[in-house]
Amino acid sequence: MGISLHEASVPVFARMLRQLARIVGKAAAHAEAQDLDPEVLLASRLHPDMYPLLQQVQIACDAAVDGAARLAQAEAPAFAGDERDFPALAARIDRSIAFLESLDSARFEGAEDRVVSWSARGATVSVGGKAYLLNHAMPKFYFHLTTAYAILRHDGVPLRKGDFMGKA
């Protein structure tokens, strides 16, 4: 018995976004406890040519939402991208989870073989749904999720592997 693209995407994205919400919450609590300006954490980055924490979280949300929407042939919500603090980021994560959980699994039927197209660096890329999920949507999502975690660990937020992984 195989696994559907709905099963392989929506619950995974939603679960890991919940972990991201936990991580963002711990970052906000750490900033308050240490009397740190939250904007310093939100602007922090691993390297000057990488996006800051704020954008890492936004892009992780977008990767999950856009990934699932493309597979389901659904309209992804357009987030304004105007988040500037931890509560606003938490709200964006919540909206992303709500969208994911609103997608009916029936919309994913046949998605393995459906062509998914998106723009990347000025070019249109088209691949089958299965390849899209496994080779683009999931890796992009985990890259930005992991980078957000790494930025906060680097900046002293007391996170552990369990904060990232959660419970199975």
Res 23: pLDDT: 98
Res 1: pLDDT: 57
73-89 pLDDT per residue, tens: 999 999 999 999 999 99
At the topology level, CATH places domain 5-165 in Four Helix Bundle (Hemerythrin (Met), subunit A) (1.20.120)
Binned at pLDDT 50, 70 and 90, residue 7 comes out as very high
Res 2: pLDDT: 84
The residue among 80, 99, 93 whose CA lies nearest residue 24 is: 93
In whole angstroms, give the CA distance from residue 128 to residue 113: 5
For the whole prediction, is pTM greater than 0.85? yes
18-63 pLDDT per residue, tens: 999 999 999 999 999 999 999 999 999 999 999 999 999 999 999 9
Average pLDDT, the chain: 96
Domain boundaries in the chain?
5-165
Res 120: pLDDT: 85
- The H or E element spanning position 115 is strand 115-120
